[in-house]
Amino acid sequence: MERRDFLKISAVAGATAALEGCGNPDHQLIRFVPEEDLIPGIATWKPSICTLCPAGCGLLVRVMAGEAEVVRNGQLGLLKMGLAKKLEGNPAHPINQGKLCPRGQAGLQVTYHPDRIKGPLVRTGRRGSGQFREVGWDEATKQLVQKLSELKASKQEGGLAFVTAPLRGQRKTIIDTFVASFKGLTSIEFAFFDDSVIRAANAASFGHALPPTVDIGTSNYVISFGADFLGTWNSPVAQSLGFGHMRKGRPGQRGKFVQFEQRISQTGASADEWIPVEPGAEGMLALSLAHVIIAENKQLATAAGHAGSLIEGWSLGLPDYAPEKVAAQVGVKPETIARIAREAAAQDPAVALIGDAAVAHTNGLFNALAVNALSALLGSVGKPGGILFASGSSAKPPAASLQSWASEVSSGATAVDVLLLYNANPVFAAPAEWGVQRALEKVPFIASFGSFIDETSALADLILPDHSPLESWLEDTPVSGSAKTVVSVAPPAMNPLHNTRAMADVLLDAAHQLGGDFAKTLPWKTYEEAIQASFAALYKEKGSKTAKDADEFWKKAQEQGGWWSTEPSQVAAVISAGTAVKNSAPQFSGDSSQYPYHFLPFASQLLYDGSLAHLPWMQEVPDPLSTAMWGTWVEINPRTAEKLMIQQGDLVEVVSPNGKLRAPALVSPGIAPDVIAMPVGQGHQNFTRYATGRGANPISILAPANVEGTGSLAWAATRVKLSRVGRGKLILFGGSLSESSPELKHR
């Protein structure tokens, strides 16, 4: 028996004996000497960074003294410590300017989650059984180093794989350097909603392999093709700030916003004009708009420059895309196309953007190139009110795709001895057809740096839990959302609650124990040192008007939450000649006679890609459009529902060529009759007490189709059929006014 266990048991036994049922054993905990100077009741505000989506918003954390149960040196006790109490946007941060989205607000619950992994774990049961034994950091690191040194000695190519969420900054540098020295694959970055199609399109059209920074605030006309830019796409808080300004921030001037999509998204709900378009026809529609603008001499075809020249038939004025020729395929009336084109051409600046399902068809890259050409024709690229490209991190596309890696490993073509996992849950977030789970089962040793047991880390042999973001050093180099160069940094906002260590620190420690070249390639002892080194380099490169030396620069950046340029910056475009592309019709998996409906997964405003389904706030906040809580649903048009004799709340079975799932039906007028939609996020089999066994996961039934010309998943390219199977459970928020609109009419 360990000392702490003995103490705990004797404390409990003592309390029970003395008080017989009315004593709380917690009160028997010892108290540690506080590690910080704290004034009770007085809040301090510390900068931090939101890590819950790729936008990279700046935070201010309200920290107040409180009492937490913590383990120090293997001993459980009470510690008076600074605790994060509320997250706000950092007003000085150029991306979110003091504002924050609902997901960012809920970041607190990541730190205080009851199911966080409290210290290193070693698997004891069979894989996936969830049986682990708590170990100390010395033993855990030793096990990692031993596996890695065995691998190093074997000199085997590709023996190490590192699967992460898309990363930026020094964490990426450390991981890439580390993996490269093993002759391993470059790190595999994976997220369900990734931006690689848009990056590829922007690289071809504009020479920037970056997501766009859309200056909505000063635009007069915004055409969005499927992008949920006010909810989950790209940099939603920055774009929402712009949206508010476009609407009511300029007295006497109000921009118009047109949304084309198949289902009213939270963003589409705010459009001045919401127009349904056939799935995958977004590029064709954009070129039809361009056709009208060129044909009516509102703009010369040459105005679109390189972006236009990439589209076949552009210089001839896109004769094949006349509205009356494409109307049937696009599903938009020719007169509507012509009117929108004329309105947009008459407004300056006008901008077009594309995202989400519109680039997740097999022809998604073409759609994105077409919309880029339209934006260029409207003359808004690189100008206020249009699309800008901020300089950010180097924009190398990842070399290996998870899909090909998984198929190589599961087929035995590639042998991987050690797999490291960080902030990615591919078993949940990749289609079952990719065989990620089968691949993982073939890897003899898996270590995860995750803070929670999820579908992927449940397969790990060793878990080395990272701090929560609020407990950790953080840095980020957001690539969109502001025209300024932004390099965010933040020291820990609070001390760790549990026996956790930063992933980068563990990796650096392992590297130094392994020896060899690492002393040169990874010279830093800690993650903090690595970040400081990057700021020293930044000071050398950019200089500073206010800081006298690199140390002061570093100190100021920490106080402010980062460094940002005073002026907008633009990276120079590197345009390589490209060959003209022509429209390719979107391909859908599943025969339309057998599978009559398009299946449209969409990002949940609260659960995002499912990575936030473990937060009770996110589960209980009603979805903006359905008010659904604590579950998932299948969205169906009333006409479709009537035809299939499905009523609101009925349990329906959705069948694709690749799988099936069951969920309650939500009958909504905001969806096309031949489309059924489902939010991504629920359907976790193993993700804490709040998310496990709740709802169904639409990703699981997706066909493994790719966006042509990229390795990205075409997640909107699956067809399904559906039928009623019984009564389901659909929880909608009850406390609301009557369903009819109250008298809020514009006079």
Q: Give the three-state DSSP class for 292.
A: helix
**576 is a contact residue toward another protein (CB under 8 A):** no
| Site residues (CB under 8 A) for another protein, limited to 675-694 | 689, 694
Answer for which of 4, 274, 327, 521 binds another protein (CB under 8 A) is 274
If binding is defined by CB under 8 A, does position 541 make contact with another protein? Answer: no
**Residue 396 binds to another protein (criterion: CB under 8 A):** no
Residues 322, 319: Cα–Cα separation, whole Å: 6
Token duo for residue 134: 């708590």
Residue closer to another protein (CB basis): 579 or 738: 738
**Residue 355 interacts with another protein (CB under 8 A)?**
no
Cβ contacts of 712 within 8 Å, gap of 6 or more: 194, 196, 197, 360, 364, 706
Taking the C-alpha atoms of residue 127 and residue 125, their distance in angstroms, rounded to an integer, is 6
> Among 336, 82, 317, 278, which residue's Cα sits nearest to residue 672?
278
Would you say 180 or 269 has its CB closer to another protein?
269
Q: Which residues contact 241 (CB under 8 A, 6 or more apart)?
A: 96, 97, 99, 217
Which one among 15, 29, 87, 680 touches another protein, defined by CB under 8 A? 87
**Sheet strand arrangement including 486-490:** 474-476, 486-490, 562-564
In the complex, what is the shortest distance from the CB of residue 547 to another protein, in angstroms, rounded to a whole number? 30
Q: Two tokens at 731?
A: 């929880």
Chain Cα centroid distance, residue 368: 20
Query: What is the closest distance, in whole angstroms, from the C-beta atom of residue 633 to another protein in the complex?
Result: 14
Tally of CB atoms within 10 A around 437: 18
Identify which range of 172-180, 259-267, 401-409, 474-482 contacts another protein by CB under 8 A.
Answer: 259-267
- Minimum CB distance to another protein smaller for 17 or for 737: 737
**Are the C-beta atoms of residues 71 and 119 closer than 8 Å to each other?**
yes
452-511: which residues touch another protein (CB under 8 A)?
497
In angstroms, give the least distance from the CB of 572 to another protein.
Answer: 32
CB 447 within 8 A of CB 420: yes
Q: How far apart are CA 715 and CA 44, in angstroms?
A: 44
Residue 564 C-beta: closest distance to another protein, Å: 19
* Least separation in angstroms between CB 507 and another protein: 27
Q: Cβ 640 to another protein, closest distance in Å?
A: 10
Helices 334-346 and 282-295, interaxial angle, to 10°? 60
Q: Is 443 in the site for another protein (CB under 8 A)?
A: no
Contact 115, 453 (CB under 8 A): yes
Q: Torsion angle of alpha carbons 44, 48, 50, 51, nearest 10°?
A: -130
CA 457 to chain centre: 19
89/562 with CB nearer another protein: 89
For position 731 contacting another protein by CB under 8 A, the verdict is yes
Stretch that binds another protein, among 3-11, 94-102, 161-169, 565-573 (CB under 8 A): 94-102
Q: Interface residues for another protein in 632-671 (CB under 8 A)?
A: 637-639, 668-671
Binding mask 108-137 for another protein (x = CB under 8 A): xx--xxx-----------------------
Binding flag, residue 570, another protein (CB under 8 A): no
- CB closer to another protein out of 21 and 252: 252
Task: Using the rule CB under 8 A, give the single segment among 266-274, 300-308, 439-447, 511-519 that binds another protein.
Answer: 266-274
Q: Does 606 bind another protein (CB under 8 A)?
A: yes
Q: Which is nearer to another protein, 518 or 630 (CB)?
A: 630
Using omega within 30 degrees of 0 as the cis cutoff, is the peptide bond preceding 349 cis? yes
Q: Taking Cα atoms as reference points, which of 414, 508, 426 lies closest to residue 148?
A: 508
For another protein, the binding residue among 77, 313, 596, 616 (CB under 8 A) is: 616
- Angle 39-561-506 (CA atoms, 0-180°, nearest 5)? 90
- Give the contact letters, 47-86, x = binds to another protein (CB under 8 A), - = no: -----------------x-x-xx-------------xxxx
Nearest to 170 by CA among 637, 616, 545, 523: 523
The CA distance from 102 to 696, in Å, is 23
Residues numbered 223 to 252 that lie near another protein (CB under 8 A) are 230-231, 236-237, 240-241, 243-245, 247-249, 252
Binder among 330, 581, 625, 654 for another protein (CB under 8 A): 625
Residues 311-330 that bind another protein (CB under 8 A): none
